[in-house]
Structure 1
Amino acid sequence: MSSASPIQIPSRLPLLLTHEGVLLPGSTMRTSVDSARNLQLVRSRLLKGTSLQSTILGVIPNTPDPASDAQDLPPLHRRTYVGSMPGRIINGLKTVGVNNPVFLLDEVDKLGKSLQGDPAAALLEVLDPEQNHNFTDHYLNVAFDLSQVLFIATANTTATIPAALLDRMEVIPVPGYTQEEKIEIAHRHLIPKQLEHHGLTPLQIQIPQPTTLDIITRYTREAGVRSLDRKLGAICRAVAVKVAEGQRKEAKLECPDTAPEGEGGREHVFKDTEPESISDSPDLALPPEMPILIDFHALKDILGPPMYDMEVSERLSQPGVAIGLAWTPLGGEIMFVEASRMDGEGQLTLTGQLGDVMKESAHLAISWLRSNAKKYHLTNASGSFDLLDNTDIHLHFPAGAVTKDGPSAGVTIVTCLASLFSGRLVRSDVAMTGEITLRGLVLPVGGIKDKVLAAHRAGLKCIVIPQRNEKDLEEIPGHVRQDLSFVRAGRLDDVLNAAFDGGFPVQARPGALDSKL
């Protein structure tokens, strides 16, 4: 009797989506995919040593010891080994019972190597559309077609993903939330969740939107809402304590009326306990009025002093300081650049945990300024147009514990040094980003949306961006664009004119003599 031929399923190239940007829990992504695909998905941990559960959707349930080696994908051991079993991929297909599930690989940027192998290398066979139609599990030793499977991966950054693996992914960047979006998320989802978790009702606590904005701007600095959720939880816990204390105080206030009528009982209570008067004892004060309103003073009592202050204008109170825009895996940030000069031998000192690219940008900026010193009438302390003549320059990028790199700080460094040598203050409401060349051109950079959102959160009003990044402004929400003014700079002249009040005039050259002879 001949064996039945396997069912032939038309193969198609799988779509592998990589989530990069704001850190989202695996459960959030799992719920979203579940709802979109109308499937019931199962979660399995993939990595060791991660703060969040790294999950695969459409595979086996959680295990107490997630794998950090390659044997869990296609197993490296044979059936004769004790405890051997099929790999996670085949086990997942067995669990869901279909050949076209959705696999979610959470935080693939944290894949680690070990003596047992490299999971990233094992994933190449799984994700490569040229190979996964004939995927072989070593335990079953039978080829299986994975071309019907939809793979979705998430990552905080693509920098640590192997290049060969990243080449097989379509990257979809996810930007951070605006302040308005965070407020809506807080009042629609986070606050009701925290109230339910702490046993409170809206009749017991009231958090107005201005208070939520204070939490976002003064107590958190993130692209997502995770820290905001923790702060709201701390507020709810403090209110829950007040509510519980109020109920206890009400019970104590009712205690004299419910005391025994016997004369001896009253003597025993007053003589043995002798409680303080209600007006003198803070524990027996009247319960708080409901609802408890959370305002700025309550925030200071519960969360402590503000962690972040709007210090932009204070830090730009002297020449040699400019504001740049930086991109991080958690979103955009504003970045101050400070410069000072002193007598020396023409040395340039750079501090602030800088990478090689940013160091080269600093040298490029000082070279451009030296070559254009006469044009802009820039002199050192002795009045010489040679800016490094008997002069040392120190450039510092604050937050020295954070590593910084990239070419986008070029225009900020030029503006900072131009302010230092001209003695003029940079506008306190201007931030900038862009790469520079030795000829004074401003080249495009990445992360424009996140950088603009960071400037908007910091209260800045004018943003200088490269002219060739104008197309990226379409991704910015309309209400944010209305609050900001943008300067499209093609050359460093445009940057300097926007960064200083009244522009940055060029020193007029003496005109040539006209002769009629």
Structure 2
Amino acid sequence: MLLHETESEYDSKSKKNNYSYYESSDFKPLIEKYNRIKYSVTEYIYLLTVKNVVLFPDVVIPITAVKQKSINLFKSAYYTYKKIGILTKKYFNTTFSIAKLNIQTFNIYSFNKFNKINKFNKINKFNKINKFNKINKFNKINKFNKTNNIYYIGTVAKILKLLIMPDGNTTVILQGISRFKIIKLIQVYPYFKAEIIYLKDEKPQKKDKEYLILIDSIKEIAIKIIQDNYKIPSESSFAISNIESKSFLINFVAYNLNIEIKNKQILLEYDFLKQRAIETFRFLNIEYEKIKLKNDIQYRVRYDIDQQQKEYFLNQQIKALQEELGDFSYEKEVEVLRIKSYKKNWSKEAQNQFDRELSKLKRTNPQMPEYTILRNYLDLMLDLPWKKYSQDNYDLYRAQKILDKDHFGIDKVKERIIEYLSVLKLKGDLRSPILCFYGPPGVGKTSLGRSIASALNRKYVRISLGGLNDEAEIRGHRKTYIGAMPGRVLQSIKKAGTSNPVFVLDEIDKMGLGSQGNPSSAMLEVLDPEQNKEFYDNFLEMGYDLSKVIFIATANSLYTINIALLDRMEIIDMNGYTVEEKIEISKKHLIPKQLKENGLKSKDIILGVKQIEKIIESYTRESGVRSLEKNISKIVRYAAKNIAMNKKYLKRINMSKIEEVLGPPNDPEKYELIQVPGVVTGLAWTIVGGEIIYIESTLLKGRGNLSITGNVGEVMKESATIAFKYIKAHNYEFGIDEKMFELYNIHIHAPEGGIHKDGPSAGITMLTSIISSFLKKKIRPYLAMTGEITLRGKVLPVGGIKEKILAAKRANIKEIILSKANKKDIDDIKKVYLKGLKFHFVSKMNEVIDLSIIK
């Protein structure tokens, strides 16, 4: 109806067009049947856009309007029995607002409980509204169809009641009739008017059991939510129970869900009523779980407060009873601590510190968290072995026997330990460097610390520093924090019970750098003889003397250790064991140990030297003996299983039985006789020992470029570049035509690309390979080499010589080229381990080429 139409004119017009309207403005029932709605025919209705609410069919809601234009629309529709379309805005800043609305909670039984009416902000001024009058017909109207500010599916509603409020605002009671969809907008002024089509709710069959169960479930969980949520009136559960219409129940619950508007709009847009019910039930379950969790949290908090109050009163009563009976009391506890302090042999400073903290404890309420921290602090001070030392045994012959008994080989290491103990015996203090045993895993670094403790008759403690990235683990936490405790150094001293134990700092190279400080920096004070006499722990808050402690560190790599920390330690290199040494270690240590751990006797299983050697060469690939011990353990368990099951078994283990128990052998890498120019055998060091490595090179047409592959690191790439540049600078010395560098590219490859390779020790190997490719001459068979090169053609020494020689011997290499500076490393190795090997010591690359390339 337009504003200039009278009610009679509109009535006749409505009847002529067969529009349905209501004969009375009195309040109608909540659910009415709108049988005259034609779902396949379009209709023209006025539109009202609202925010923060989605109207569903059959649901009754109140809307308050403050703008005169909105009030005029409501009055026009109300007095002419016209329906209006309710659409929901996506955003609050949409330019198509007709009224800013306040949706209040509506009681479905009465309309007389509207006590609060919110005032709304003003919308755009009248001059902006007048702009709509100037909008061209369809070119402007179509912009409404393209906007994303409103949803295009809404609900047609009838105004049940129009109320004029005391403050001048107008409130209308709307009831949803049917869903609709906008086809196009046909009018902007004075109200939005659009051509729409009704959307029909597809209802399931009457005998659909799943749908009926779903309706019952929605009703049941809705009632549970009302009962558990104290903010919802309990009378609402009776309303839910009395709803008989299934569609109205779904729409009513969906409207009242505490979910986002976009989710409510999704529910409205479902054509199938059953699908709307399923989604509504899902949201109900989520809401119910939230309410249960919230109630549970509130209960626990209330219970904790009640429990604390209860414990406080009980503790006060217990205290009063104990004092009445002459039994234990906190005052007596403080007195006991004071008496213990008098028996401690500590400094005056420590005694004063203890007395101050004891006075704080006496003044602190036992129920306060600070009481526990103070009590832990005082207990720590009393438990620390202040000036308590064990009596050392300086019998060096006994120490030598213990070291020889516990460890086979490593004579240089044991000799240095005896020297260390000799200085300790003569001087009486430990102001000598801290020992750091460096070597691959499984060579006995950690167990050496235990042997030293046994030789000196001292306590043995060990802490693992692997993965440590918090400075507080070393220095401790400050007492101001709940749960504060001393650092691991003082905890270990307390555990040892003496102030001069043998303290092993295991895996010192694996300390990390975290956000809580650098533990490597904290270790500087621990390991510095000039500072550790007054080691400061944050929890203890005073100095503790660590100068009598023998610190021994272990590491697998030196590259990750702090330089300043490395400077405070004396590095003792522990190389890998030879096959002969591993055989002796197995016979004297590993086999007896495994027999004891598995409950067997020496006669129950016999392993010969050949069998042990087979296990070492075919089933282990390491410098230490850890994998060897695991394989021996498997064989011992094989015997233990048969004895336990009363089965016959082979006591003297042979080769075939080893393969049966341990599986197919993994034979060691042997030298491969490759008579091809450009292929050279090198020697490499890894964390598990030495290995042989092949370096290959080939020429291909190009412009003299160099490329290298095989997962190599930057240092190895630099070595290849140096080798290539040296050859180009001295090509006539090697008999290489200069034009070759302009016609060919050189490509170098290190096989086994899955393993990262780096370091300078392959320098002479790569240079020899490149020259061999240019000259098209082969390399002497059974020859390997290792060494670093310079641009001047000098051969520099490299490390890991013992491991590399062991690898060469395993691979059946006959000759090895080394730098002259590495001759001292060969002299340190027992002659028996060098048998069958010939060494060539060189200082320049010309010597390497003369020894390696076949003329």
TM-score (norm: length of structure 1): 0.77
Bigger relative CO (Cα 8 Å, ≥ 6 apart): 1
Say if 1:237 and 1:94 are closer, same or farther in 2 by CA, change over 3 A. Answer: closer
Cross-structure match for 2:564: 164
Give the whole-Å Cα distance in 2 for the aligned partners of 1:498 and 1:376. Answer: 13
Structure 1 residue 240, shift from structure 2 partner: 4.2
Give the whole-Å Cα distance in 2 for the aligned partners of 1:423 and 1:242. Answer: 61
Q: Give yes or no for contact 1:411–1:492 (8 Å, CA) kept in 2.
A: yes
Cross-structure match for 2:433: 15
Query: What amino acid is the match of 1:479?
Result: V
Q: Give yes or no for contact 1:432–1:465 (8 Å, CA) kept in 2.
A: yes
Give the whole-Å Cα distance in 2 for the aligned partners of 1:93 and 1:239. Answer: 43
Cross-structure match for 2:544: 144
Amino-acid identity (%)? 41
**Residue 458 in structure 1 maps to residue 811 in structure 2:** yes
Structure 1 residue 244, shift from structure 2 partner: 5.5
Partner SS state of residue 327, structure 1: strand
Q: Give yes or no for contact 2:465–2:510 (8 Å, CA) kept in 1.
A: no
Structure 1 residue 204, shift from structure 2 partner: 4.2
Deviations 1:74-110 (A, max 9, x none): 22312x4333233222333333333332221000111
Q: In structure 1, which of residues 64, 77, 102 is the aligned counterpart of residue 478 of structure 2?
A: 77
Structure 1 residue 385, shift from structure 2 partner: 4.2
Deviations 1:235-256 (A, max 9, x none): 33344445556x35xxxxxxxx
Give the whole-Å Cα distance in 1 for the aligned partners of 2:347 and 2:589. Answer: 54
- Aligned residue pairs: how many? 434
Give the whole-Å Cα distance in 2 for the aligned partners of 1:328 and 1:108. Answer: 19
Partner SS state of residue 171, structure 1: strand
**Residue 491 in structure 1 maps to residue 851 in structure 2:** no
**Residue 185 in structure 1 maps to residue 572 in structure 2:** no
Partner SS state of residue 454, structure 1: helix
Say if 1:471 and 1:309 are closer, same or farther in 2 by CA, change over 3 A. Answer: closer
- Greater alpha carbon shift after TM alignment, 223-232 vs 29-38: 29-38
**Residue 206 in structure 1 maps to residue 586 in structure 2:** no
Cross-structure match for 2:327: none
Give the whole-Å Cα distance in 1 for the aligned partners of 2:717 and 2:513. Answer: 32
Structure 1 residue 185, shift from structure 2 partner: 0.8
Give the whole-Å Cα distance in 1 for the aligned partners of 2:790 and 2:824. Answer: 21
Q: In structure 2, which of residues 734, 739, 749 is the aligned counterpart of residue 376 of structure 1?
A: 734
Structure 1 residue 361, shift from structure 2 partner: 1.1
Query: What amino acid is the match of 1:226?
Result: R
Written as runs of structure 1 = structure 2, the 5 A alignment for 1:108-507 is: 108-241=508-641, 247-248=646-647, 287-288=648-649, 290-295=650-655, 297-314=656-673, 316-378=674-736, 384-501=737-854, 504=855
Query: What amino acid is the match of 1:298?
Result: K
Cross-structure match for 1:64: none
Give the whole-Å Cα distance in 2 for the aligned partners of 1:86 and 1:439. Answer: 57
Say if 1:419 and 1:244 are closer, same or farther in 2 by CA, change over 3 A. Answer: farther
Q: Give yes or no for contact 1:23–1:156 (8 Å, CA) kept in 2.
A: yes
Structure 1 residue 27, shift from structure 2 partner: 5.7
Say if 1:4 and 1:343 are closer, same or farther in 2 by CA, change over 3 A. Answer: closer
Give the whole-Å Cα distance in 2 for the aligned partners of 1:472 and 1:143. Answer: 44
Structure 1 residue 396, shift from structure 2 partner: 1.1
**Structure 2, gaps ≥5 residues long:** 1-345, 351-385, 388-427
Q: Give yes or no for contact 1:75–1:86 (8 Å, CA) kept in 2.
A: yes
Say if 1:336 and 1:205 are closer, same or farther in 2 by CA, change over 3 A. Answer: same
Give the whole-Å Cα distance in 2 for the aligned partners of 1:77 and 1:239. Answer: 55
Cross-structure match for 1:41: 460
Structure 1 residue 349, shift from structure 2 partner: 1.5
Deviations 1:433-452 (A, max 9, x none): 11112232212222222222
Partner SS state of residue 557, structure 2: coil
Partner SS state of residue 475, structure 2: coil
Give the whole-Å Cα distance in 2 for the aligned partners of 1:197 and 1:93. Answer: 30
Give the whole-Å Cα distance in 2 for the aligned partners of 1:201 and 1:12. Answer: 44
Query: What amino acid is the match of 1:71?
Result: A
- Greater alpha carbon shift after TM alignment, 122-131 vs 171-180: 122-131
Partner SS state of residue 758, structure 2: coil
Q: From the CA coordinates, give the structure whose radius of gyration is larger.
A: 2
Say if 1:219 and 1:341 are closer, same or farther in 2 by CA, change over 3 A. Answer: farther
Say if 1:293 and 1:123 are closer, same or farther in 2 by CA, change over 3 A. Answer: closer
Give the whole-Å Cα distance in 2 for the aligned partners of 1:143 and 1:159. Answer: 32
Say if 1:435 and 1:30 are closer, same or farther in 2 by CA, change over 3 A. Answer: closer
Deviations 1:321-352 (A, max 9, x none): 11111222333222211112222332221112
Written as runs of structure 1 = structure 2, the 5 A alignment for 1:58-73 is: 68-73=469-474
Say if 1:42 and 1:100 are closer, same or farther in 2 by CA, change over 3 A. Answer: closer
Query: What amino acid is the match of 2:437?
Result: H
Taking only aligned residues, the RMSD between alpha carbons, in angstroms, comes to: 2.8
Cross-structure match for 1:277: none
Query: What amino acid is the match of 1:412?
Result: T
- Greater alpha carbon shift after TM alignment, 386-395 vs 353-362: 386-395
**Structure 1, gaps ≥5 residues long:** 49-66, 249-286, 379-383, 505-517
Deviations 1:408-456 (A, max 9, x none): 2111112222222333332332111111122322122222222222222
Say if 1:309 and 1:326 are closer, same or farther in 2 by CA, change over 3 A. Answer: closer
Partner SS state of residue 322, structure 1: strand
TM-score (norm: length of structure 2): 0.48
Give the whole-Å Cα distance in 2 for the aligned partners of 1:34 and 1:362. Answer: 48
- Greater alpha carbon shift after TM alignment, 386-395 vs 470-479: 386-395
Structure 1 residue 319, shift from structure 2 partner: 2.1
Give the whole-Å Cα distance in 2 for the aligned partners of 1:37 and 1:346. Answer: 65
Q: Give yes or no for contact 1:99–1:149 (8 Å, CA) kept in 2.
A: yes
Q: Give yes or no for contact 1:13–1:148 (8 Å, CA) kept in 2.
A: no
Q: Give yes or no for contact 2:461–2:501 (8 Å, CA) kept in 1.
A: no
Say if 1:144 and 1:11 are closer, same or farther in 2 by CA, change over 3 A. Answer: farther
